[in-house]
Amino acid sequence: MNNIVAIVGRPNVGKSTFFNRLIQRREAIVDSVSGVTRDRNYGKSEWNGKEFSVIDTGGYIKGSDDIFEGEIRKQVELAIDEADAIIFVVDVEDGITPMDEEVAKLLRKVTKPVLLAVNKVDNAMRQQDAIEFYNLGLGEYFTIAGMSGSGTGELLDKLVEVLPELPDAVEEENPLPRFCVVGRPNAGKSSFINALIGEDRFVVTDIAGTTRDAIDTKYNRFGFEFNLVDTAGIRRKAKVKEDLEFYSVMRSVRAIEHSDVCILVIDATRGFEGQDQNIFWLAEKNRKGIVILVNKWDLVEKDTMSTKRYEDAIRKEIEPFTDVPILFVSALTKQRLLKALETAVQVYENRKQRVATSKLNEIMLPIIEHMPPPAVKGKYIKIKFCMQLPTPAPQFVFFANLPQYIKDPYRRFVENKLRENFDFEGVPIDVYFRQK
């Protein structure tokens, strides 16, 4: 589990540039996975051997600069609730604005670590100008230049020093699969969970506090035993507006990072919206198993083609990772709930399966020989051997004489062949090409 660091501040102070710098440094190290990362507001970063998740709250404010302080206020309050540390970014060019003062007022009451970053300080003159930010009453500040990256090192040194120690996950003998139920507010997560466990709650133990905001419940029903990370019943704060897009993503981060399989519940009457997609890509980025449940299916007007059409529309939105089970359920009438559980268990099994190296080579090498990567500049690329890496989510490495010439379309071709021959439904796969 990682600490969560939230970046807050008013629009246009350079939060996103700073955020991108934090996660790119990290993504450059970890084979950056190609394809568009649809959610530009969440990523993982690492400094001095300590890994943490970063959330840029600013990306969620839609509209112009003068957007009501209300929005920013809500986001800062949510960041205070959810994050383990907060970086407050201000802009040296503008000096202290009334909105900065508002944010600082909220942050002064907080017991969590708050670091003040004065951005756009790229010369000695501006170093002088930055002194006025002492007036925010947040103690020492760090001067940075998001564009060039100067000063970020000192800031990050301090950040990893003040991040709270997280309790080490207890390694169990046979760890149970961890399923988390995620989705936007009002998609029916609570009803799904209640229908699953019934009023008589076949609960063995309630382990509270394993994650700060999600409750882990151990279930043993219908012959399945698993831990359910329930994000649905989390402290509903009256002051956080339900429609806040940022809200459900922020709420989901911890639960998703902490689970094996994410059950994404969407509302059939609203379709697969931007926010559902954000949560989907969050799970995909974290390499978790995914099952999509279209809930409230009993409320939808049906004709002969409707499930097929609905399913195709969702698959179009989640390209290129379309090998995901989609089920149409109703928590109200308990329709297909058992099937949903069976599917989640199957996805969990798919995610942890290990393909024997001999079998992998026996199946994949002839396919590759038949369809080798296209030659580049007259050089032929040969792939002689492949194996699965011992990682929690499936990763495969193929050894080639010229791996640098293998392009993305071929990587996708290999992934599709792996999916055709082995059951990885619902599970993101990584395929790497390395020098043999």
122 is in an annotated binding site: yes
Cα distance between residue 90 and residue 108, in whole Å: 15
234 is in an annotated binding site: yes
239 is in an annotated binding site: no
153 is in an annotated binding site: no
233 is in an annotated binding site: yes
Q: Is 258 helix (H, G, I), strand (E, B) or coil?
A: coil
185 is in an annotated binding site: yes
298 is in an annotated binding site: yes
Cα distance between residue 280 and residue 286, in whole Å: 10
194 is in an annotated binding site: no
Cα distance between residue 66 and residue 52, in whole Å: 32
Q: Is 404 helix (H, G, I), strand (E, B) or coil?
A: helix
56 is in an annotated binding site: yes
Alpha helices in 232-336 (DSSP H): 245-257, 274-285, 306-317
- Chain centroid, CA 30 distance in Å: 16
120 is in an annotated binding site: yes
316 is in an annotated binding site: no
Residue position matching structure tokens 């989901």 = 252
Name 293's bridge partners: 265, 327
289 is in an annotated binding site: no
Cα distance between residue 101 and residue 96, in whole Å: 7
Amino acid at the residue 291: V
189 is in an annotated binding site: yes
Cα distance between residue 154 and residue 115, in whole Å: 11
Counted residue by residue, the chain has a size of 436
41 is in an annotated binding site: no
- Measure the N-to-C terminal CA separation of the chain; round to a whole number of Å: 34
54 contacts: CB under 8 Å, gap ≥ 6: 4, 5, 6, 7, 19, 22, 23, 42, 43, 44, 45
21 is in an annotated binding site: no
2 is in an annotated binding site: no
12 is in an annotated binding site: yes
232 is in an annotated binding site: yes
Cα distance between residue 118 and residue 18, in whole Å: 11
276 is in an annotated binding site: no
45 is in an annotated binding site: no
Name 150's bridge partners: 145
Q: Is 300 helix (H, G, I), strand (E, B) or coil?
A: coil
230 is in an annotated binding site: yes
Amino acid at the residue 368: I
401 is in an annotated binding site: no
Numbered residues of the known binding site? 9-16, 56-60, 119-122, 183-190, 230-234, 295-298
Numbered residues of the known binding site for GTP? 9-16, 56-60, 119-122, 183-190, 230-234, 295-298
